[in-house]
Structure 1
Amino acid sequence: MEITSLGFRTDVALLAASGSEITDHGTHLVVRTPSNPGFHWGNFLLLPAPPGPGDAARWAALFAMEFPDTKHLAFGVDGVDGRAGLPAEHAALGLTAEVSTVLTAAQLRPPSTAPGAEVRALTGDDDWQQALTLEFACHGLPANERARRFAERRVAGFRAQCEAGNGSWVGAFVAGRLRAGAGLFTAGPTLARFQNVATHPDFRRRGLASAVLRHAARHALPDGPTTRTLVIVADPDYHAVRLYRSLGFMDTEHQVQLHRAS
């Protein structure tokens, strides 16, 4: 299956680089992450079109065949126009449709400074522990041990990609503490994908995220093509999308994910 969507093309490339198993059945892709079974968007099916009449039962059977021990459902819909399919088919499986904006840029607007912040790539155990702490500050402490292990595995996966030379995780440190960060990784010969842009709730609106993104675009990637398309995916209703546009990103596509947590 040839992936049309830049969002899913870069998602799948980064998952493959981090050790996920990608199986191409021609009519669909199976993405499986044995190291982190609780990661729903590391264990999903990618279909070439949104669900039409009668597809709910077929999709459910296909997911159950590939993931017999899981309770969640996760389907990616390849495409660029944001069509999510028939609401009746979503309802039959209890799916929620999420349509994200895929933005691209050849380069970001000239860098600016973030007063009082040191902007650099993460290195060493303490920096990566701070990355996990920042994750908890932004999204809340895990409700249970299973959720904590999921977050730890995810951050460990990002670290492994950085240490393998596939990109870097850049942070803005204030008084020695990580207060904003993002990863930028190679996702193909001419593609690079930003991941998990985050700013501590107490340190927003200080230019930290802008500084991180600009620094990453200039310094994060290994040697390679002089021209890369930078890709970032955002909730169209979240304030961060305005920041990305101000840095020079342009709306390019829409990415559709259909999901049921359990």
Structure 2
Amino acid sequence: MNVISLGYRTDLMVLASAGSVIVDRPSHLVVRTPSNPDFWWGNFVLFDAPPGPGDAERWSAVFAREFPEAEHLALGVDGTRGDAGDAGERARLGTTTEVDSVLTASRLVPPSRPAPEDLQIRPLSGDDDWEQAVRLRFDCDELGLTVEHRTFLERRVADHRRLCEAGHGVWFGAFTEGRMRAGTGVFGAGDGLARFQNVETHPAFRRRGLASALVHHAGLWGLRELGARMLVIVADPGYHAIDVYRRLGFADAEHQVRLCRAPAPTRSD
């Protein structure tokens, strides 16, 4: 399958570098992340076109065959224009539809907002830094920290650390008041591309210029040290962070479609 979506192409390159297994079928790709089976977008099927009449049953069967033990359903839709396909088929799948913006930049504009005077942006190094990255991920999470979800987040940070230690990129921390308050990773994605991962800022330290300074710093590193000709970042079009990226010089290039159904809640009775 020839993937045309820039968002998915860079997703797949980063996932493969981290150890995910990608199986190519004629009309779809199967992506597996054995180290983290609860990572929905590390264990999904990417189809080559939006769902049309009759596809709900077929797509569900494909996913069930490839992931017989999965409790979630995660289906990617290749494309660039944000076409999510037949609404009736999506209703039959029981999925929510996410259409994210894929933004790109070949050069960056310095942040206009001053950052805190004590701000230090540097690559993470050593156990203490990475433990702070885990804590930041917990503090930024909005889904509720069940035991299972904490394990998922810890595994994701461990995946990112392995990527960095294998030389595929760098995870930067923004440190102020003595602690890591924001973080992001930037990784080589092949073909002159560098992909951002998980730009996050502690809720109590937002709107202070940390994210702007961090993304600008990490982006310059990607252009210089990775030799990237283009930076790629994916963002929720309805969330304020996308305006930060646009002010730094990122421009909307494509849309990325994801269909997802979360596992059914566990009953406590």
Give the TM-score category using the shorter length.
over 0.9
CA positional deviation for 1:222? 7.9
Counterpart Cα distance in 1 of 2:214 and 2:226: 21
What is residue 258 of structure 1 aligned with on the other side? 259
TM-score after normalising by structure 2:
0.93
| AA matched with 1:4 | I
Task: Please state how far the C-alpha of 1:171 moved relative to its aligned partner.
Answer: 1.2
Q: Is the 8 A contact 2:74 2:258 kept in 1?
A: yes
Q: Give the gaps of 5 or more residues in structure 2.
A: 264-269
Show the counterpart of 2:33: 33
2:137 aligned counterpart, secondary structure: helix
Contact 1:184/1:221, CA 8 A, preserved across alignment: no
Paired with 2:165 and 2:144, the residues of 1 have a C-alpha distance of 26
> Whole-Å Cα distance in 2 between the matches of residues 116 and 244 of structure 1?
23
Does structure 2 conserve the Cα–Cα contact (< 8 Å) formed by 1:170 and 1:220? no
- How far off its partner does 1:221 sit? 6.8
Equivalent residue number for residue 199 of structure 2: 197
CA–CA separation in structure 1 for the residues paired with 2:123 and 2:226? 19
Q: Contact conserved, 1:111 with 1:215, CA < 8 A, in 2?
A: no
Q: After TM superposition, what 4+ stretches of structure 1 lie above 3 angstroms from structure 2?
A: 140-143, 220-225
- Normalising to structure 1: TM-score of the pair? 0.96
Q: Match of 1:116?
A: 118
Partner of 1:72: 72
Instruction: Rate the CA distance shift 1:158–1:253 in 2: closer, same or farther, 3 A.
Output: same
State the Cα distance separating 1:2 from its structure 2 match.
1.0
Measured after TM superposition, the shift of residue 219 of structure 1 is 2.3
Question: Residue 194 of structure 2 contacts residue 222 of structure 2 at CA under 8 Å; is this kept in 1?
Answer: no
Residue of structure 2 equivalent to 1:137: 139
Indicate the residue corresponding to 1:57 in structure 2.
57
Deviates more, 1:17-26 or 1:138-147: 138-147
In structure 1, C-alpha distance between the alignment counterparts of 2:80 and 2:109, rounded to whole Å: 26
Structure 2 equivalent of residue 247 of structure 1: 248
- Contact kept in structure 1, 2:100 and 2:255, CA below 8 Å: yes
Note if contact 2:3-2:78 (Cα within 8 Å) is conserved in structure 1.
Answer: yes
Contact kept in structure 2, 1:167 and 1:222, CA below 8 Å: no
